[in-house]
Amino acid sequence: MDVRASLARTPFISEDAQDDEAEAPTLEDLLDRGDATAQKRVVGEAWALFREGKYRQATGAFESAITLEPLDFESRIGELFCYLSVGSTRTALVLLGELVRRDVNPFQHDLRMADRYGNVAEVSQLLILGRRWADATDQTAEANAIYIFVLWYLGEREDAVRAAESLAKRAPAKAYASWPEKMRAARSGDTSAE
């Protein structure tokens, strides 16, 4: 018998509990609540580090948050932007691929990354770098996808949609071919587009 299964069946009753109370929470329930609290705290720390421009430290905090809650897409996006901000494009590409595999619509999150940066110049620099990746002579669908993703989350949504439509035409077999529909669904509030 594993520990989690044992904990799930063990009720935790505080000393001041009354007999007429509803079913007492199990120790597993209390541990899960503790995980959620810890996860929120770590996410807050990660964003504070990000705002200060301490991207390498922020990646560690985002990774911890993701470990506590694997479906925390906000932290996954934050981690991706950390790697982009320190110039680790290849790692960011891997993270984008992972995000696209896990998230039904990676554009549905209300996350304004331009507001998360402590320095406006860093936002401009990221846009310039993204444009270079997309314009490179040896450009790949992935390089275009990361640029589109950056555009979207930095608030350049119309440009992102146009670039996604262009990418979908050039690489219809890639996972990014459905991005224009997902972006339109995210703008309209419908997250069912796949």
Task: Centre a 10 Å sphere on the Cβ of residue 181 and count the other Cβ atoms it contains.
Answer: 15
Tally of domains in the chain: 2
The answer to the question of residue 14 being in a domain is no
Final residue belonging to a domain, choices 103, 135, 154: 103
Per-residue model confidence as pLDDT tens digits over 105-136: 999 999 999 999 988 899 998 988 878 877 76
Question: What pLDDT was estimated at residue 53?
Answer: 95
Final residue belonging to a domain, choices 41, 74, 103: 103
85 pLDDT more than 90: yes
Nearest CA to 59 out of 40, 43, 79, 35 is that of 79
The answer to the question of residue 114 being in a domain is no
Do 130 and 79 reside in the same domain of the chain?
A: no
Nearest CA to 99 out of 109, 86, 87 is that of 109
Question: What pLDDT was estimated at residue 11?
Answer: 54
Q: What are the Cα distances from residue 82, in Å, to 10, 28, 145?
A: 41, 33, 17
Task: Centre a 10 Å sphere on the Cβ of residue 169 and count the other Cβ atoms it contains.
Answer: 10
With cut-offs at 50, 70 and 90, classify the pLDDT of residue 193. Answer: very low
Per-residue model confidence as pLDDT tens digits over 7-65: 455 555 445 545 444 565 454 554 456 678 888 999 999 999 999 999 999 999 999 99
The answer to the question of residue 13 being in a domain is no
97-111 exposure pattern, b = at least 16 Cβ within 10 A, e = fewer: eebbeebebbbbbee
Separation CA 108–CA 56 (nearest Å): 26
Of 54-68, 98-112, 141-155, 162-176, minimum mean pLDDT range:
162-176
Question: What pLDDT was estimated at residue 137?
Answer: 56
Percent of the chain with pLDDT strictly greater than 70? 77
Of 82-86, 141-145, 172-176, minimum mean pLDDT range:
172-176
The terminus-to-terminus CA distance of the chain in angstroms comes to 39
Do 98 and 124 reside in the same domain of the chain?
A: no
Cβ neighbours for 71, distance < 8 A, ≥ 6 positions apart? 102
Domain of residue 181, residue span: 119-194
Give the chain's radius of gyration (CA, Å). Answer: 21
Do 123 and 175 reside in the same domain of the chain?
A: yes
Compute the average pLDDT of residues 99-109: 94
Final residue belonging to a domain, choices 103, 137, 167: 103
The answer to the question of residue 11 being in a domain is no
The answer to the question of residue 109 being in a domain is no
Which CATH number is 70's domain given? 1.25.40.10
The answer to the question of residue 7 being in a domain is no
With cut-offs at 50, 70 and 90, classify the pLDDT of residue 162. Answer: very high
DSSP per residue over 80-144, as a string? HHHHHHTT-HHHHHHHHHHHHHH-S-TT-S---HHHH-S-HHHHHHHHHHHHHHHHSTT--HHHH
The answer to the question of residue 18 being in a domain is no
The answer to the question of residue 4 being in a domain is no
- What average pLDDT is seen over the chain? 83
The pTM of this model reads 0.78
Of 33-37, 99-103, 190-194, minimum mean pLDDT range:
190-194
